[in-house]
Chain A
Amino acid sequence: MDFLGFVIICVKVLVVFSATMLTVLMMVYAERRVSAFMQGRLGPNRVGPQGLLQPIADGIKFLMKEDIIPAEVNKPIYLLAPAMLLIPALMTFAVIPFGSTITLFGREVPLQVADLNVGILYILALTSIGVYGLVLAGWASNSKYSLIGGLRSSAQLISYELAMGLSVVSVILLAGSLKLNVIVEDQQGYLLSWNVFKQPVAFLIFLVAVYAETNRLPFDLTEAEQELVGGYHTEYSSMKFAMFFTAEYANMVTAAALTVTLFFGGWDVPLLNETSMGALGAILSVLSFILKTAFFLFLFIWVRWTFPRFRYDQLMKLGWKVMLPLALINIFVTGGYLTLTSLR
């Protein structure tokens, strides 16, 4: 690899990383403001204009707080657990294409950090690795609430990972590739070519599974405040708690971006051919990607204040007895349809 290519990749990594972190900050702010709006409150509005600097104030507070390590914890694992959750959460965005190609210094630069030929599997693998952070945090804390939170999270994530993976399979069947780039290109063209119209069942299963995977309401049993204090992060304070918090929101950002990529055409602007429009097309594609992702991030908050929390047995029943069979039937129907049309 030549020097220029190396620089371009470094810049892309930097841009994606800082964009993710910035979105996390904005999401923390938006979560509080939108929640307040939905409950007829004002929310944080004192720090900066409209309270926009509140996340930064929160971050400084996290840094300044005393870092407490409880006496009876298993120290190495207790210290390792937040990083084990945060690192996979920040790594996942690497394969998501966030725009069409641009031409820089006479070469085509795809707006995507790494175009792996197993892109979607990479994301699924990393989300399944994230469980370790939760489980080990729960176990190492040596506290009942943390342990229950950790156990619940592992059971929940494994159950919904299956439904999520199987719903993605039908999308892969349509695109014929595991590359996220190809999946996006497959959805180009007119509006109805988006996968959400071709695979509505898969989209619904995926959306519900995403909420379970990111531990958001109505599936936030791992940190159900009324029962478990704070769940797996009960014993964590200061920056280590902030790491859990960041990981959770980074997971949400990736999940929203992945939903857009798989089902809403990724960076596709309907009825436009971005790749033939040069720089303007690239900017439009990035904008459309950001807008769609922002909508799904908003949906996270919206759902949070719309649905009550599931009971644990209801969660398991939904995962194993509804979502999994539904996803399997969906694959069967999709595969059958594809076979029949290819025979003709």
Chain B
Amino acid sequence: MLPLLFYFAAAIAVGTAISVVLSRNAVYSAILLVACFFSLALIYLLLEAYFLAVLEIFIYAGAIMVLFLFVIMLLNLGQEKAQEHFRYLQRGLSLFLVIVFFLGVSLILLSDSSVLHQSHETFSAGGVKVLGEALFTKYLLPFEVASLLLLVALIGTVYLAKQKI
């Protein structure tokens, strides 16, 4: 039952992810990406990481993608029009990056396949308490730095968007 569910979720995740790239309509891409997040959340659930699963939906699907959709609709990017002359450069570059990434990942996995077979005892990122404790003790500095980074990004956006405050 569980492997079947995993293959189901994984197939949807990969399928929707490919369609996000291939779709010519920006709104369709956004919706497909949301579907992709849902299947990822399902995979998290199968790994018993309930907290991460809900956060995936809450933050990525529920907040970030809504904002993306908001912007797409405001700019009314219907069909793909812009960047016609960038197309070949863009495709060539992305193909190159994908191949490099794929080769890198497969090289790592082929040389040391133990990465794939971690025992279940060490994997406990699902609990709220475990995650919270890790964030506020072991990873306190990166956590705070990340929040500072977000603040800087926020201020930067306001500065760029509003010339005169």
Contact = CB atoms under 8 A, between A and B. Distances in A.
Interface string A135-162: 1101100000001001100110110010
Contacts of B73: 135, 138-139, 147, 150-151
Contacts, number: 64
B66 interface: yes
Given A121-B51, A158-B63, A161-B63, A151 B70 contact: yes
Contacts of A121: 51, 54-55, 58
Contact of A129 (B31, B57, B128): B57
B153 interface: no
Given A117-B50, A131-B62, A132-B34, A125 B57 contact: yes
Given A118-B54, A178-B128, A128 B31 contact: no
Interface string A145-185: 00100110011011001000000000000000010000000
B22 to A, nearest CB: 16
Interface string A180-193: 00000000000000
B42 interface: no
Contacts of A131: 62, 66
Contact of A135 (B50, B57, B66): B66
Contact of A118 (B66, B69, B128): B128
Given A128-B66, A136-B31, A158-B66, A151 B54 contact: no
Nearest to A131: B66
Nearest to B65: A132
Contact of A116 (B50, B61, B70): B50
A129 B62 contact: yes
Contact of A155 (B27, B31, B70): B70
A118 B50 contact: yes
B69 A154 contact: yes
Interface in A99-151: 116-118, 121-122, 124-126, 128-129, 131-132, 135-136, 138-139, 147, 150-151
Contacts of A157: 66
A136 B63 CA distance: 15
Contacts of A124: 58
Nearest to B57: A125
A77 interface: yes
A213 to B, nearest CB: 12
Interface string A62-95: 0000000000001001000000000000000000
Contacts of A77: 27, 31
A158 to B, nearest CB: 6
B74 interface: yes
B67 interface: yes
B58 A158 contact: no
5 contacts: A116-B50, A125-B54, A125-B61, A132-B34, A154-B70
The 3 lowest CB-CB distance pairs between A and B, nearest first, are: A128-B62, A125-B58, A125-B57
